Amino acid sequence: MNKVAKIFINMPIKTIAKGYSYIVPDQFSYLDIGWRVCVPFGHQYLEGFVVEIAFVENCDGLKEVVAVIDKSAWFNQEMMDTAKWIASYYLCSLGESMRLFIPGKKSISVDLFYEAIALEENGINCCCIYKYLQANGPLNLNCLKKYFPTYDMEKVLERLLSEGKIKKVYKIRSRAKEKFEKFVMINEFCDKDPNIYLKNKPAQLRLVNLMLTKRKLPRKTLMEFSSSVIHALEKDGFIHVVNERVLRDSYKDYHFQMVKKSLNPSQENAIEQVTAKICEKKHDTFLLYGVTGSGKTEVYINIVEKIRKLDKQAIILVPEIALASQMIQRFKENFSNDIVVMHSKLSIEERNDAIERLHNKEVGIVIGARSAVFVPLDDLGVIIIDEEHEVSYKQEERPYYHTREVAKMRTFYSNAILLLGSATPSLESYYKAQCSEYKLLSLPKRVNNSNLPSVHIVDMRNELAKGKRSILSDDLYALIKKTLENKEQIIILLNRRGHSTFVLCRECGHIIKCNHCDVPMVYHFSGILRCHYCDSVKTVPQECPHCYSRYIKYFGTGTQKLEEELYRLFPNASVLRMDRDTTTKKMAYEKILDDFRKEKYQILLGTQMVAKGHDFKNVTAVAILSIDSTINIPDFRAAERGFQLLTQASGRAGRHGNQGNVIVQTYNPCHYAITHAKEHDFISFYHEEMNFRKILNYPPYNQLLKIIIFDMVEEILIKKAEILARKLHLMMKSVKCNIIGPFSANVVKVKDIYKMNILIKSREMGKIKQLLCENELDKRKDITIDVDPMNSL
Ligand SMILES: Nc1ncnc2c1ncn2[C@@H]1O[C@H](COP(=O)(O)OP(=O)(O)OP(=O)(O)O)[C@@H](O)[C@H]1O
Ligand SMILES: [Zn+2]
Ligand SMILES: [Zn+2]
């Protein structure tokens, strides 16, 4: 009987839907489900995941596993189950869902070496290449070719292999380099008396005395001692130097001090309810609905404390990296170094080291963005999703998973707790809480008895009627002025980066668009036009490419232009801009937010990343300038998005006792998202919005599935989409559903690819997915399927 493993390849390809069988050679007989291995696949060696083990008689034609990647299985049962659930729910292959659990997602590479087999005759009749291998250990082809340039090396090696004199060995070349550091250690068994022996060597004596108290120190902290001092002591047997692996940690030097807050009754009640469930060791989901500044983070901290006391591990998710730093800071204040951070701006090395730390049980808390939900953990106790309503929790590429649902399944399979927190819960989550599927916890008031800010709505139509064209209304100008005079801080939200949002010919109306996408190019500071979809750039044309007129004008205001405008109006104010253009560097977010927290700047201006979750003591004013661009999107979630953005942004003002003031500039002052946000009334907004969802049969009353069809040629795409829609109608005859479309995607063309959508609404999504798979639509290369899409466009 031979041991055979069924293996899924780590590749982002939906067509490799099945696993492949490989023989497990004797040397790897310990291999089991969940291990990562390396296998030959086509002409390459690729990373694969073992999902099944079987013993079979006949393995003709099967290849062998050539290497094992880790020292233990990467996937435990709970992770395997979650990966399988993702594959079946989001219609992707198991390889695609399993690779989500691997940081970096890049496949490993493997080098082939040739090794001499020890022969009894001791190589009397053997050729020089065999002898060379015997003397030098395993070597690869290139190396051998270099030493023996006149040989036809491939032929020789083939002969030696067939004669059984050499064998192939595979070594994994890890892309993530391990980091080593030198340490100086005292020799425990040295019996020389340094005071006598080193009497005339003051530097050496000083170092030995230091080492006698410290025992072990990193070499780099001993820069005052030269290498000769160290060498001499090593030679005399006082100390020795070792090269040890160190695990990287970019957040190691975060300064923190322990702070313990006394909790208010609402916080205590929330913690008590969750704790009761933790003690039962059963899965459950809680929705913590707490207004902005109600102290949700403190609840998270207390729950994680309980979990850590039980020696279980916790994952805390934030919607974007910009918010990680504050969460890390608050958690460090309570858990000091029991934390690792995981997000995509960290290198693969750093992420691997973080996983190693968790694996060693050196730390037990992970803070990270979306992908951190996949961190391998042995003993998951809780997943906390802060700002659970955020769209960034949905991955907008294959597999189109939603972090909340993945977390739900992971905690379910590990008997752990899922805690969702928000001041503006998603309609789905609040609805589930109403139906008792989730347990609702609420924090109805701000801590410190702070009031929620007062919100003033400026009707921009009146400004226009007054003949004003500035992006800043009179009221906003007055608010900024007052805030600056009071030495307080203001946050201004403008959801458009760049300088001018489009460039237009005054003569013929031609708008300069990207050559590859169906969107206008955005003018940036540096005098270039940039496409925000594909990042391609153009220089600004001197004349209109359409009519050759020279009347080229810039329209619309982006963050860069607003920054100029603020400096012009308030020359003494200090303005800090935060958008994608100012945060490309690693730790750039941290720096900007830290500078603002330390009040080095008075105005923080930026895209939506400035609006969420931040807790700045001295911010009393907030302005939201671009809410119309959110509520006018023709998507069924537009009002929800608008309400959330307004409530979250307003929520940054006056969190610490001082009265907050918010200004919203809009051309739609009567829109219900705006009026309810003004009153901080989530419940009324929820009911009004749910009414509308019910009438139109949208989630949470119904499930959605979006089929995206694409092609390089628009005409072909339209034909294909129509054929597909007809096919779908036939296919779904027996299922209760609504098929809408095909219709053009919101942006018709991105990176030279045209897109059209078909939307299916149904309460029987399981059946629909099954039909789609039976008809192999999930495998078609010109289609992607987005289950539970965040937008219908
Ligand atoms: N029990 C407490 N006593 C005093 N201060 C507290 C207490 N709980 C929290 N705080 C403080 O109140 C402030 C707001 O808390 P936190 O940032 O957790 O609010 P939040 O609910 O997460 O708000 P948002 O949804 O706006 O992010 C923080 O500065 C926090 O340190
Ligand atoms: Zn023109
Ligand atoms: Zn483009």
- Regarding whether 119 and 64 lie in a shared domain, the answer is no
Selection from 91, 97, 62, 52 nearest residue 79 by Cα: 97
Q: How many whole angstroms from 628 Cα to the centroid of ligand 1?
A: 30
Q: How many whole angstroms from 517 Cα to the centroid of ligand 3?
A: 4
pLDDT bin (cut points 50, 70, 90) of residue 671 is: very high
Burial class (CB in 10 A: 0-12, 13-18, 19+), 713: exposed
Q: Please give the tally of structural domains in the chain.
A: 5
- Regarding whether 710 and 678 lie in a shared domain, the answer is no
Q: Is the CB of 295 under 6 A from ligand 1?
A: yes
**Which residues fall in the annotated binding site?**
505, 508, 514, 517, 531, 534, 544, 547
- Regarding whether 458 and 334 lie in a shared domain, the answer is no
**Which residues fall in the annotated binding site for Zn(2+)?**
505, 508, 514, 517, 531, 534, 544, 547
* Ligand nearest to the Cα of 545, by number: 2
Q: Is the CB of 266 under 6 A from ligand 1?
A: no
The mean pLDDT of 543-560, rounded to a whole number, is 83
Q: Residue 36 has what DSSP assignment?
A: E
Per-residue model confidence (pLDDT) at position 108: 67
pTM of the model: 0.85
Q: Is the CB of 450 under 6 A from ligand 1?
A: no
pLDDT bin (cut points 50, 70, 90) of residue 471 is: confident
Q: 120 pLDDT exceeds 60?
A: no
* Ligand nearest to the Cα of 749, by number: 3
Per-residue pLDDT reduced to its tens digit, 13-30: 776 667 899 999 998 999
Amino acid letter for position 241: V
Per-residue pLDDT reduced to its tens digit, 736-746: 999 998 998 87
Residue 767 to residues 94, 275, 562, Cα–Cα distance (Å) = 20, 38, 51
Q: Which of 174, 197, 217 is the last residue of a domain?
A: 174
Instruction: Report the atom number in ligand 1 closest to the C-alpha of 330.
Output: 31
Work out the angle at residue 668's Cα, subtended by the Cα atoms of residues 491 and 290, and round it to the nearest 5 degrees.
Answer: 50
Q: 125 pLDDT exceeds 70?
A: no
**Residue at 551 is within a domain:** no
Q: Is the CB of 296 under 6 A from ligand 1?
A: yes
How far, rounded to the nearest angstrom, does the alpha carbon of residue 438 sit from its chain's CA centroid? 25
Which range of 239-253, 549-563, 671-685 scores highest in mean pLDDT? It is 671-685
**Residue at 548 is within a domain:** no
Q: How many whole angstroms from 624 Cα to the centroid of ligand 3?
A: 28
**Residue at 508 is within a domain:** no
Q: 547 pLDDT exceeds 90?
A: no
Share of the chain above pLDDT 70, in %: 96
Long-range contacts of 217-225 (CB under 8 A, 24+ apart): 217/183, 217/184, 218/181, 218/182, 218/183, 218/184, 219/181, 219/182, 219/183, 219/184, 220/181, 220/182, 222/184
Which has the higher per-residue pLDDT, 603 or 253? 603
Residue 767, domain CATH: 3.30.70.600
The mean pLDDT of 108-122, rounded to a whole number, is 73
Per-residue model confidence (pLDDT) at position 256: 63
Which has the higher per-residue pLDDT, 198 or 693? 693
**Residue at 603 is within a domain:** yes
The mean pLDDT of 133-154, rounded to a whole number, is 84
- Regarding whether 598 and 483 lie in a shared domain, the answer is yes
Residue having the nearest C-alpha atom to atom 2 of ligand 1: 263
The mean pLDDT of 337-351, rounded to a whole number, is 83
| Mean pLDDT of the residues in the chain | 87
- Regarding whether 345 and 299 lie in a shared domain, the answer is yes
- Regarding whether 665 and 634 lie in a shared domain, the answer is yes
Per-residue pLDDT reduced to its tens digit, 484-534: 999 999 999 998 887 777 788 888 888 888 888 888 888 887 778 888 888
Q: Is the CB of 372 under 6 A from ligand 1?
A: no
Q: How many whole angstroms from 782 Cα to the centroid of ligand 1?
A: 48
Per-residue model confidence (pLDDT) at position 121: 56
Q: How many whole angstroms from 782 Cα to the centroid of ligand 3?
A: 20
Buried b (16+ CB within 10 A) or exposed e, 672-687: bbbbbbbebebeebbe
Per-residue pLDDT reduced to its tens digit, 281-294: 899 999 999 998 89
Q: 343 pLDDT exceeds 80?
A: yes
- Regarding whether 114 and 154 lie in a shared domain, the answer is yes
Per-residue pLDDT reduced to its tens digit, 585-621: 777 778 888 899 999 999 999 888 888 778 898 999 9
Per-residue model confidence (pLDDT) at position 201: 84
Instruction: Report the atom number in ligand 1 closest to the C-alpha of 614.
Output: 27
**Residue at 219 is within a domain:** no
Per-residue pLDDT reduced to its tens digit, 59-97: 888 999 988 988 889 999 999 999 999 999 999 989 899
- Regarding whether 666 and 589 lie in a shared domain, the answer is yes
The mean pLDDT of 159-185, rounded to a whole number, is 79
pLDDT bin (cut points 50, 70, 90) of residue 257 is: low
Per-residue pLDDT reduced to its tens digit, 711-761: 999 899 999 999 999 999 999 999 999 999 899 887 888 888 899 999 999
Which has the higher per-residue pLDDT, 302 or 57? 302
Q: Residue 494 has what DSSP assignment?
A: -
- To test ligand 1's pocket by mutation, which of 257, 259, 298 has the most ligand atoms within 8 angstroms of CB? 298
Residue having the nearest C-alpha atom to atom 30 of ligand 1: 295
Residue having the nearest C-alpha atom to atom 25 of ligand 1: 292
Residue 34, domain CATH: 3.40.1440.60
Which residues face 503 on adjacent strands?
554
- Regarding whether 757 and 735 lie in a shared domain, the answer is yes
Q: Is the CB of 680 under 6 A from ligand 1?
A: no
Cα–Cα distance, 418 to 443 (Å, whole number): 18
* Ligand nearest to the Cα of 271, by number: 1
Which has the higher per-residue pLDDT, 119 or 409? 409
Residue having the nearest C-alpha atom to atom 27 of ligand 1: 613
Q: Is the CB of 642 under 6 A from ligand 1?
A: no
Per-residue model confidence (pLDDT) at position 307: 95
Q: Which of 127, 157, 174 is the last residue of a domain?
A: 174
Q: 119 pLDDT exceeds 80?
A: no
- Regarding whether 718 and 632 lie in a shared domain, the answer is no
**Residue at 36 is within a domain:** yes
- To test ligand 1's pocket by mutation, which of 271, 294, 303, 420 has the most ligand atoms within 8 angstroms of CB? 294
Torsion of CA 611, 616, 621, 622, to 10 degrees: 0
Burial class (CB in 10 A: 0-12, 13-18, 19+), 133: buried
**Residue at 210 is within a domain:** no
- Regarding whether 564 and 415 lie in a shared domain, the answer is no
Q: How many whole angstroms from 229 Cα to the centroid of ligand 1?
A: 53
The mean pLDDT of 357-368, rounded to a whole number, is 91
Per-residue model confidence (pLDDT) at position 122: 53
Residue 602, domain CATH: 3.40.50.300
**Residue at 530 is within a domain:** no
The mean pLDDT of 219-228, rounded to a whole number, is 83
- Regarding whether 300 and 310 lie in a shared domain, the answer is yes
Per-residue model confidence (pLDDT) at position 148: 84
Q: Is the CB of 261 under 6 A from ligand 1?
A: yes
H-type helices in 550-637, by residue range?
559-569, 588-597, 627-631
Per-residue model confidence (pLDDT) at position 174: 64
Give the lowest-confidence range in 13-27, 377-391, 402-416. Answer: 13-27
Q: Is the CB of 582 under 6 A from ligand 1?
A: no
What domain range is 118 assigned to? 110-174
Q: Which of 52, 75, 109 is the last residue of a domain?
A: 109
